[in-house]
Amino acid sequence: MGRIVDISVKATRRALHWLLAVVAGVAAAVAPSGAAWAHEVGGVGATNFTTTLSALTPAVPGVRLAVVENGSRLELRNTTAQEVVVRGYSDEPYARIGPDGVWLNDSSPATYLNADRFASTTVPADADPAAPPRWRKVSGDNVHRWHDHRIHWMLSTLPTAVAAAPTAAHRVSDWHVDLDYGGAVLSATGSLDWVPGPSPTPWYLLAAVAALLVVGAVFTRRAHTLVAAALVALIAADVLHAAGIALVTAGNVPERLTAFLGDGLTGLLIWPFGLVAAVLIAKRATFLGFVAMGVGGLLSSMMALDDAPVWWRSSAPSALPADLNRAGVALVVGLGAGLLVGGPLLWRRFKPQAREAAVAEPSLADDMRTAHPPGGEPTAGGTPATDPQAGNAPRVDPTSSPENGSPTEQPTSPDAAPVVLGARAARAAADVSADSGEAGQGGAVGRRGFAGTLAAGGIGAILGAAGGIAAGTPGEPGTPAGAPPAEPLTGVGATRIAFHGERQAGITTPARPQARLRIIAFDLAEGVDRVGLQSLLRRWTQAAAQLSQGLPLGDSGDDVVTGAGPSSLTVTAGFGPSLFGKAGLPATARPAELTPLPAFPGERLDPAHSDGDLCLLVHADDALVVFRAARALTRLAAPQARMRWQLDGFNNSPGVTPTAATGRNLMGQLDGTNNPQPTDEDFSTKVYVTDPAAPAWLRGGSVLVVRRIRMLLDDWDAQPRQAQERVIGRRKDTGAPLSGGQERTPANFGTKGADGALTIPADAHIRLATPAFNNGAAMLRRGYSYTDGDAAGLIFLAWQADPRRGFVPVQQRLVASDALNRFTRHETSALFAMPHGVAPGGHLGQDLFGEDPA
Amino acid sequence: MSTPYRPLSVLAAALVAASALSGCALWGMEGGPDAAGASMPPVAVTAPPAAVAVQGPDGVQRIEITVDDDLKLTPQVVTARPGRIELTFRNVGLTPHDIALRIPAATGTGNINGSATDIVTVEVTEPGTYPMPCLYHGTSGMRGTLEIR
């Protein structure tokens, strides 16, 4: 009879098991898809794509740009009194962030495209970037975050290069985003890289060990306590993981709390539920092993499905350190999987039926076991664990059995078969109260106290994390180190020349040539290819942009200029004729403007200090600033190029002479009086290449002739002043032509003196050099003086659109008969073509490589 | 019926099967460890053939270029002779694009929504290679080329 009753009870329970298993399974299967929870921010989960913001130049205090949400969005925070305008994809104004909040331009396609991570949207027909902005206020904050598609990968397949070698690092692209700020353009530049992640093996092992420990814990004496502790640890790890994600979620407190708790507040339901279950399990509510199974299975499977990639990808949307985040995921997966198995095992081991059977009829269990080996409570299924009928079997855990089988425990009537889950749970709870009363005397207080502490700790962790999320400010870039100098720099030191622009700085900007110059010529190393050359130009561009804005490079040379301002630093780069034919650039690609200079009679050139494949001109109003920049750029040239020669030049320091004054050379003359003036109508076409037949990289650039002209000053200074003035054709003091007038008065080459001789002699320098007698040949001379031991002279720098209509004809005329030749000697010579200027995000000479600047 | 272990076994088996089946698609574009099961780009055909714009009786060279959700222009390289060229950009996907032309004066299609078409006519005198990047997707490598020979 006992048998019949027992069988019917068993059948009922079996049905209940099925029901529970199905419910747990459905929950585990459905929940992850229903609640896209806690694994992605801004539509991006763990990824090997890394978006880096290299620089925002020039830097403006109070305007902070940051890559947030793992590259999904850019964040601009503007705490200044002036608004910042973010440019869209056609350079139109897209967003404006300022004191009166955030406004979006409804005429900009970016307004619609940037709302979605993959720009899957339709842009209204009236969104025309060329149309006048239609501003719409979207928030009163001074911060805006948007999906800028220039900074991240938009395709649903890997880049081709990455697909070919996914375990290697790749530079996917460089990007730039422009901001307008009070008439200045702030340029953000950065890169998108593929950075392979680490091996996931350690985390597989951690998850496996965690799972095995939980399953193993079921068979120890402290099974309830340990299972409860595992459940609390699982929830704590999950809370930690969710907090890490919530902390990088941009937005206000409710948005971050939603990120923390999950869509539909999954966390709010599961975590307290699990913690209550953990407390009750610790109090020996064996039945709640099924709750542990459900919670464990749910969290584990969700985590494995959604977050396992953090193990093998290099970055994840989490505020936690990457390995802590990975460990958290491994613990959730491992502990959850352990509980999925361990929860039911706990029930099987300690279920009241076993106790009751053991209590009521100790011999019956053995009897039944013998009678119904396969159908009863078999060991089939391969689990060595627990024949539950053997719950009191000494071989499993001798110490626990007597305790569980204690006759004083609440007896469960087998006749009172449970009908609904609620009733069963209620009785389980009743079990607990009785059990706790009993265990209080049994010395189990310590264990329960431990579990309770863990549970309380878990709740505390949740509250603490929530508080931290509410208080924290995610994605904020750190305040740059280095306090501003106590005394703000003014004047010379603080002056900054824009690096980016249509034309390179250092040719006609600044209007007054800086006081100091270093010119460096480089030779390409053997075997450098296009990629190498391009990489060198990219490095130079980046460094020059930073140096010219007074930003540190992060190398040891920074300290040379610590405390110093940019001092009008400009860096100008150029290509020599010999570059063509190297680095994969065909010799035929050499533009006609860069035809090597012919040999001139009388010159005594030192080939080792002439020519060069590449050149850099570093100008500034301070010698230390020039030295620091030039040295840094020279070091950056390695290994693709090495210095061939260099020259240092000087002029008057600013403030020493009136700003507009023509500079003097070491012979005492004003040098450059007859230069083309910026106000001339054809100034640009004389100085800059505008010929449409010129290659694209050169249009907007200029060609530079460099000559180091030694002055034979001993001979010169032996001449009386009038003789010197006749050599030049101008007065030394005022610079006025000998024909009369002021410095700028046009020379009258026909004027004759009382003696009938030409006032400006036939061999006077200005007569031979004047454009009027050279078919209009003109060049912009911005020379510098140099000294070298006891030698001294002029670093002659002449800028022109084409030397064949500039320096060459003039020099050919001069060498034939210039009176000045007796006092000068051309010792070195070089010719360089300076490419046009650099747009933010591009690099010098970029279109030399036929590359799209986009 | 035979054993109460069954539900567990079934559940475990189902989970294992689910992970195994979903394997590749499970973790998205970048796939599993070492990019196993990642979404790979279509196998690159060795140097996609350049399509030649066809000259009509009016002397205008015409070609249709499709742009799609794979962020591709097809054909990617268009060759033409100096002169008037009419480029028809047909968006066969859902994602909007904006193809820029730098010849060298900047022009372009403006926004082309999914399933929309835009025609750009350019006059090119100089032989050369002119890029046609998508302003929205340039960083992701969406760019074509117009070669004038």
- What does the alpha-carbon distance between residue A216 and residue A239 come to, in Å, rounded to a whole number? 25
- Rounded to the nearest 5°, which phi and psi values hold at A819? -65, -25
Quick: pLDDT tens for A108-137.
999 999 988 888 888 888 888 888 999 999
- Residue A92 is predicted with a pLDDT of 92
Of the candidates B111, B129, B141, the beta carbon closest to that of A109 is on B111
Given pLDDT bands bounded at 50, 70 and 90, which one contains residue A793? Answer: very high
Task: Give the minimum alpha-carbon distance from A690 to chain B in angstroms, rounded to a whole number.
Answer: 13
**CA distances to A710, A739, A767 from A665, in Å:** 12, 22, 19
Q: Where are the domains of chain B?
A: 6-35, 51-148
Task: Give the minimum alpha-carbon distance from B61 to chain A in angstroms, rounded to a whole number.
Answer: 23
- What does the alpha-carbon distance between residue A71 and residue A117 come to, in Å, rounded to a whole number? 10
Name the amino acid, one letter, at A229: A
- Residue A785 is predicted with a pLDDT of 97
Mean pLDDT of A134-141: 91
Task: Give the minimum alpha-carbon distance from B101 to chain A in angstroms, rounded to a whole number.
Answer: 10
A 114-173 near B (Cβ less than 8 A) = 118-123, 127-129, 149-160, 162-163, 166-167, 172-173
- Residue A12 is predicted with a pLDDT of 53
Task: Give the minimum alpha-carbon distance from A265 to chain B in angstroms, rounded to a whole number.
Answer: 24
Coil, strand or helix at A396 = coil
Mean pLDDT of A409-434: 39
Coil, strand or helix at A666 = coil
Task: Give the minimum alpha-carbon distance from B55 to chain A in angstroms, rounded to a whole number.
Answer: 26
- Residue A833 is predicted with a pLDDT of 97
- What does the alpha-carbon distance between residue A798 and residue A769 come to, in Å, rounded to a whole number? 13
* B2 neighbourhood in chain A, CB within 8 Å: 374-375, 380
Residue A531: strand pairing partners: none
Mode of pairing for the β-strands spanning A93-98 and A84-87:
antiparallel
Mean pLDDT of A781-797: 95
Coil, strand or helix at A435 = helix
**CA distances to A157, A606, A672, A796 from A779, in Å:** 54, 24, 10, 11
H-assigned helices in A521-658? 530-548, 623-637
Instruction: Indicate yes or no: CB of A155 within 8 angstroms of CB of B5.
Output: no
Angle between helices A266-282 and A289-307 in degrees, nearest 10: 140
- What does the alpha-carbon distance between residue B133 and residue B107 come to, in Å, rounded to a whole number? 11
List, in order, residues 6 or more apart from A680 with CB less than 8 Å away.
A686
Instruction: Indicate yes or no: CB of A17 within 8 angstroms of CB of B7.
Output: yes
Enter the tokens of residue A726: 């006749």
- Residue A625 is predicted with a pLDDT of 96
Q: Which has the closest alpha carbon to A705: A812, A582, A838, A846?
A: A812
Instruction: Indicate yes or no: CB of A21 within 8 angstroms of CB of B11.
Output: yes
- What does the alpha-carbon distance between residue A812 and residue B145 come to, in Å, rounded to a whole number? 45
Quick: pLDDT tens for A609-642.
999 999 999 999 999 999 999 999 999 998 899 9
Matching residue, tokens 């890490």: A244
- Rounded to the nearest 5°, which phi and psi values hold at A574? -150, 165
* C-alpha angle A9-A14-A17 in degrees, rounded to nearest 5: 130
Enter the tokens of residue B79: 């060759």
Residue scoring higher pLDDT (A415 or A713): A713
Given pLDDT bands bounded at 50, 70 and 90, which one contains residue A165? Answer: confident
CA distance from start to end of chain B: 79
Name the amino acid, one letter, at A368: M
- What does the alpha-carbon distance between residue A585 and residue A589 come to, in Å, rounded to a whole number? 7
List, in order, residues 6 or more apart from A753 with CB less than 8 Å away.
A759
In a 10 Å sphere around its CB, with 0-12 CB exposed, 13-18 middle and 19+ buried, how is residue A486 labelled? exposed
Q: Is A660 on the interface with B (CB under 8 A)?
A: no
Estimate to the nearest angstrom the gap between the alpha carbon of A132 and the chain centroid: 32
Query: SS3 string of A779-821?
Result: CEECCEEEEECCEEEEEEEEEECCHHHCHHHHHHHHHHHCHHH
B 28-87 near A (Cβ less than 8 A) = 28-30, 32-35, 38-42, 44, 69-71
In which element (H, E) is residue A299 found? Answer: helix A289-307
A 602-621 near B (Cβ less than 8 A) = none
Instruction: Indicate yes or no: CB of A173 within 8 angstroms of CB of B141.
Output: yes
Given pLDDT bands bounded at 50, 70 and 90, which one contains residue A608? Answer: very high
Query: SS3 string of A91-140?
Result: CCEEEEEECCEEEEECCCHHHHHCCCCCCCCCCCCCCCCCCCCCEEEEEC
Of the candidates B26, B129, B137, the beta carbon closest to that of A305 is on B26
A 791-850 near B (Cβ less than 8 A) = 850
Instruction: Indicate yes or no: CB of A166 within 8 angstroms of CB of B38.
Output: yes
Given pLDDT bands bounded at 50, 70 and 90, which one contains residue A264? Answer: low
- Residue A39 is predicted with a pLDDT of 59
- Residue A661 is predicted with a pLDDT of 87
* Residue A421 scores a pLDDT above 60: no
Instruction: Indicate yes or no: CB of B140 within 8 angstroms of CB of A309.
Output: no
Quick: pLDDT tens for A465-497.
444 444 443 333 333 334 444 566 667 888 888
Mutate which: A74, A89, A192, vs B, most B CBs within 10 A: A89
Estimate to the nearest angstrom the gap between the alpha carbon of A408 and the chain centroid: 67
Q: Is B2 on the interface with A (CB under 8 A)?
A: yes
- Residue B119 is predicted with a pLDDT of 92
- What does the alpha-carbon distance between residue A499 and residue A184 come to, in Å, rounded to a whole number? 12
Indicate which residues of A carry an active-site annotation. Answer: 671
- What does the alpha-carbon distance between residue A388 and residue A188 come to, in Å, rounded to a whole number? 67
* Residue B148 scores a pLDDT above 70: yes
- What does the alpha-carbon distance between residue A578 and residue A522 come to, in Å, rounded to a whole number? 11
* B137 neighbourhood in chain A, CB within 8 Å: 149, 154-155
* Residue A501 scores a pLDDT above 70: yes
Q: Where are the domains of chain A?
A: 2-42+199-471, 49-194, 504-653+662-847
Of the candidates A45, A157, A192, the beta carbon closest to that of B40 is on A157
H-assigned helices in chain B? 6-26
Instruction: Classify the C-alpha dihedral A608-A610-A616-A620 as positive or negative.
Output: positive
* B114 neighbourhood in chain A, CB within 8 Å: 122
Specify the pTM: 0.49
Given pLDDT bands bounded at 50, 70 and 90, which one contains residue A737? Answer: very high
Whether A800 and A703 have beta carbons less than 8 Å apart is answered as yes
Scanning every residue of chain A, which has its alpha carbon at the shortest distance from the alpha carbon of B44? A160
Mean pLDDT of B26-50: 73
Whether A298 and A263 have beta carbons less than 8 Å apart is answered as no
Residue B83: strand pairing partners: B124
- Residue A831 is predicted with a pLDDT of 97
B 81-140 near A (Cβ less than 8 A) = 94-96, 98, 100, 102, 104, 108, 110-111, 113-114, 126, 128-129, 131, 133, 135-140
If one counts every other C-beta atom within 10 angstroms of the C-beta of residue B121, the result is 12
Q: Is B13 on the interface with A (CB under 8 A)?
A: no
Given pLDDT bands bounded at 50, 70 and 90, which one contains residue B9? Answer: low
- Residue A487 is predicted with a pLDDT of 62
* Residue A32 scores a pLDDT above 80: no
A 382-401 near B (Cβ less than 8 A) = 383
Matching residue, tokens 């938009």: A154
Whether A319 and A341 have beta carbons less than 8 Å apart is answered as no
* Residue A767 scores a pLDDT above 80: yes
Query: Cα torsion at A528, A529, A534, A537 (round to 10°)?
Result: 20
Return mean pLDDT, chain A: 80
A 241-300 near B (Cβ less than 8 A) = 297
* DSSP assignment of A372-395: -TTTSS--TTS--S--GGGGG-TT
Residue A824: strand pairing partners: A711
Instruction: Indicate yes or no: CB of B7 within 8 angstroms of CB of A21.
Output: yes
A 697-716 near B (Cβ less than 8 A) = 699
Of the candidates B104, B129, B140, the beta carbon closest to that of A154 is on B140
* B12 neighbourhood in chain A, CB within 8 Å: 341
- What does the alpha-carbon distance between residue B87 and residue A422 come to, in Å, rounded to a whole number? 71
Most confident of A2-16, A359-373, A609-623: A609-623
Given pLDDT bands bounded at 50, 70 and 90, which one contains residue A594? Answer: very high
Cis peptide upstream of residue A61 (ω within 30 degrees of 0) = no
Enter the tokens of residue A775: 């078919």
Instruction: Indicate yes or no: CB of A154 within 8 angstroms of CB of B137.
Output: yes
- Rounded to the nearest 5°, which phi and psi values hold at A729? 100, 5
* DSSP assignment of A681-744: TTHHHHHS---TTS-TTTTT-EEEEEEEEEE-HHHHHTS-HHHHHHHHTB-TTT--BTTSS-TT
- Residue B24 is predicted with a pLDDT of 40
Enter the tokens of residue B80: 């033409």
Residue scoring higher pLDDT (A675 or A482): A675
Q: Would you tell me which CATH number, out of the four given (3.40.710.10, 1.25.40.80, 2.60.40.420, 1.10.15.40), belongs to the domain B51-148? A: 2.60.40.420
Task: Give the minimum alpha-carbon distance from A440 to chain B in angstroms, rounded to a whole number.
Answer: 34
Mean pLDDT of A677-702: 90
If one counts every other C-beta atom within 10 angstroms of the C-beta of residue A315, the result is 19
- What does the alpha-carbon distance between residue A540 and residue A545 come to, in Å, rounded to a whole number? 8
- Residue A849 is predicted with a pLDDT of 84
List, in order, residues 6 or more apart from A305 with CB less than 8 Å away.
A32, B19, B26
Percent of chain A predicted with pLDDT > 90: 42
- Rounded to the nearest 5°, which phi and psi values hold at A547? -60, -40
- What does the alpha-carbon distance between residue A571 and residue A575 come to, in Å, rounded to a whole number? 14
Quick: pLDDT tens for A166-213.
888 888 888 989 999 988 888 898 999 999 888 999 999 999 999 999
Mean pLDDT of A747-752: 89
Whether A169 and A138 have beta carbons less than 8 Å apart is answered as no
Size of interface A-B (CB pairs under 8 A): 167
Percent of chain A predicted with pLDDT > 70: 77
* Residue A839 scores a pLDDT above 70: yes
Cis peptide upstream of residue B104 (ω within 30 degrees of 0) = yes
- Rounded to the nearest 5°, which phi and psi values hold at A759? -65, -40
H-assigned helices in B5-138? 6-26
- What does the alpha-carbon distance between residue B123 and residue B105 come to, in Å, rounded to a whole number? 11
* Among the ranges given (A81-90, A97-106, A386-395), the one the predictor scored with the smallest mean pLDDT: A386-395
Scanning every residue of chain B, which has its alpha carbon at the shortest distance from the alpha carbon of A301? B15
Quick: pLDDT tens for A807-830.
999 999 899 889 999 999 999 999
- Residue A84 is predicted with a pLDDT of 95
Quick: pLDDT tens for A289-336.
888 888 888 888 888 878 888 899 988 888 888 899 999 999 999 999
Residue scoring higher pLDDT (A265 or B20): A265
* Residue A338 scores a pLDDT above 80: yes
Residue scoring higher pLDDT (B119 or A442): B119
Q: Which has the closest alpha carbon to A781: A836, A707, A713?
A: A707
- What does the alpha-carbon distance between residue A137 and residue B80 come to, in Å, rounded to a whole number? 47
Of the candidates B12, B41, B100, the beta carbon closest to that of A163 is on B41
